[in-house]
């Protein structure tokens, strides 16, 4: 050990040799670590530089910062070992610095200063939106996506604003929420560049929840009419229009204002529809009964072989079945066809009856021999 100390003292005198020495574990004299250069400046846009290492022992190299990358971090003893130092582009906005510490067993470590200037800022050249014109209902939301160019722009932060925040608001992430009917312009801004999206907000749709009718059943006579009234709920339903229909338009017709008209005897169901809700009213059309039947003659004298046509009138005029049936009490004296034509067949008396809908009227027909006159008041004839 004494010999080693003396040699080291002598070597200090010979510092011009620019070499380092050390003793190994056995006390033998060894050459120390050397690095060239001891300072590196890396390109701001990213790149690499090289330093040369001479090591008499196994060595390791450790960067003090993560942005410093080494092609090798350890190796065996040797001369003129090249280690590549690299870094990506410095977009921090400021010069950054660090160190590389090279060390080995029983030798003094060496350090290499590493620095890198900052890249000039990359400005935003354009911003665009994935939406241009949109329509929303009150309460709905929409996410707008902004694209900022170039991809490597330093500050791609987007700020969002609404020209009328009471109509539609916009969050910092581009989520638009419709608040009230109206229009607004959503603006996205980044690096002095802007893009817009026009938003139109319409009232929210309120669905129909129910519909009811003023009548659920009705009985009419042919020709009669009445109005059905539909009530749609809720009162603020967006579309309260009602569509009307009849299950049998030949029996009962319905207009689009709810007017129902009975056309003939039968039954039909009237349906009112609003949204997907319906309500019905069953309409029964009953026949109009005959209330009275009259003949234009109550008695008549008809010479043998002559004819007479009786006229029957059925009331009311709109009776459903005005069919008249004719009959004679003695068809051998006077016959009648279904048109009311009476024929005198032999001398005598017969009653002609007209009937319709349960009502009837009669006319007494007296058949006389040709040339005979009618009996005088107070006289009787024996037939």
Look over the chain and give the mean of its residue pLDDT values, rounded to a whole number.
89
Spatial distance between the Cα atoms of 100 and 108, rounded to a whole number of angstroms: 14
Residues in the chain: 383
CB atoms under 10 Å from CB of 29, counted, come to 13
Tens digit of each residue's pLDDT (9 = 90 or more) over 253-279: 999 999 999 999 999 999 999 999 999
Checking if the pLDDT of 5 tops 50, the result is no
CB atoms under 10 Å from CB of 295, counted, come to 18
Spatial distance between the Cα atoms of 42 and 216, rounded to a whole number of angstroms: 91
The per-residue pLDDT for 374 is 52
Kindly indicate the confidence band of residue 338, based on its pLDDT and cuts at 50, 70 and 90: very high
Beta strands 217-220 and 182-190 are unpaired
The per-residue pLDDT for 253 is 97
Kindly indicate the confidence band of residue 375, based on its pLDDT and cuts at 50, 70 and 90: low
The per-residue pLDDT for 11 is 39
The per-residue pLDDT for 371 is 52
Pair of tokens at residue 326: 């004719």
By the 8 A CB rule, do 365 and 326 touch? Answer: no
By the 8 A CB rule, do 84 and 70 touch? Answer: yes
Kindly indicate the confidence band of residue 91, based on its pLDDT and cuts at 50, 70 and 90: confident
The per-residue pLDDT for 104 is 94
Checking if the pLDDT of 82 tops 70, the result is yes
Spatial distance between the Cα atoms of 231 and 211, rounded to a whole number of angstroms: 5
Checking if the pLDDT of 21 tops 70, the result is no
Tens digit of each residue's pLDDT (9 = 90 or more) over 168-180: 999 999 999 999 9
Tens digit of each residue's pLDDT (9 = 90 or more) over 123-156: 999 999 999 999 999 999 999 999 999 998 888 9
The per-residue pLDDT for 13 is 33
Kindly indicate the confidence band of residue 19, based on its pLDDT and cuts at 50, 70 and 90: very low
Kindly indicate the confidence band of residue 382, based on its pLDDT and cuts at 50, 70 and 90: very low
Spatial distance between the Cα atoms of 80 and 100, rounded to a whole number of angstroms: 17
CB atoms under 10 Å from CB of 187, counted, come to 16
Nearest alpha carbon to residue 285 among 272, 273, 270: 270
DSSP classification of residue 263: -
* Residue 13 backbone dihedrals phi, psi, to 5 degrees: -65, -35
């Amino acid at each position: 050990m004494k010999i080693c100390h003396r040699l080291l003292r002598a070597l200090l005198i010979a510092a011009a040799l620019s070499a380092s020495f050390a003793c190994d574990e056995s006390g033998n004299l060894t050459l120390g670590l050397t690095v060239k250069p001891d300072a590196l400046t890396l390109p701001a846009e990213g790149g690499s530089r090289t330093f040369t290492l001479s090591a008499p022992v196994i060595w390791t190299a450790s960067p003090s910062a993560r942005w410093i990358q080494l092609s090798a971090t350890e190796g065996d003893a040797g001369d003129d070992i090249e280690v590549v130092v690299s870094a990506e582009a410095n977009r921090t906005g400021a010069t950054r610095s660090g160190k590389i510490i090279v060390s080995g067993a029983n030798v003094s470590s060496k350090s290499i200063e590493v620095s890198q200037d900052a890249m000039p800022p990359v400005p935003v050249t354009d911003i665009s939106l994935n939406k241009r014109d949109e329509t929303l209902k009150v309460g709905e939301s929409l996410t707008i996506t902004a694209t900022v160019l170039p991809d490597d722009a330093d500050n791609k932060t987007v700020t969002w604003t609404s020209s009328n925040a009471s109509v539609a608001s916009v969050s910092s992430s581009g989520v638009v929420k419709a608040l009230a009917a109206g229009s607004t312009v959503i603006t996205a801004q980044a690096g002095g560049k802007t893009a817009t999206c026009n938003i139109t907000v319409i009232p929210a749709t309120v669905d129909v929840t129910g519909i009811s009718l003023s009548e659920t059943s009705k009985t009419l006579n042919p020709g009669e009419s009445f109005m059905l009234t539909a009530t749609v709920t809720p009162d603020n339903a967006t579309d309260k229009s009602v569509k009307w229909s009849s299950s049998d338009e030949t029996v009962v017709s319905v207009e689009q204002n709810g007017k129902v008209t009975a056309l003939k005897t039968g039954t039909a169901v009237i349906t009112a529809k609003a949204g997907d809700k319906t309500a019905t009213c069953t309409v029964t059309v009953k026949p109009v009964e005959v209330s009275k039947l009259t003949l234009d003659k109550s008695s008549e004298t008809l010479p043998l072989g002559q004819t007479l046509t009786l006229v029957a009138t059925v009331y009311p005029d709109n009776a459903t079945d005005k069919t008249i049936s004719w009959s004679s009490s003695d068809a051998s004296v006077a016959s009648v066809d279904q048109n009311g034509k009476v024929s005198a067949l032999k001398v005598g008396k017969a009653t002609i009856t007209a009937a319709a809908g349960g009502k009837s009227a009669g006319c007494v027909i007296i058949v006389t021999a040709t040339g005979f006159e009618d009996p005088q008041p107070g006289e009787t004839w024996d037939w």
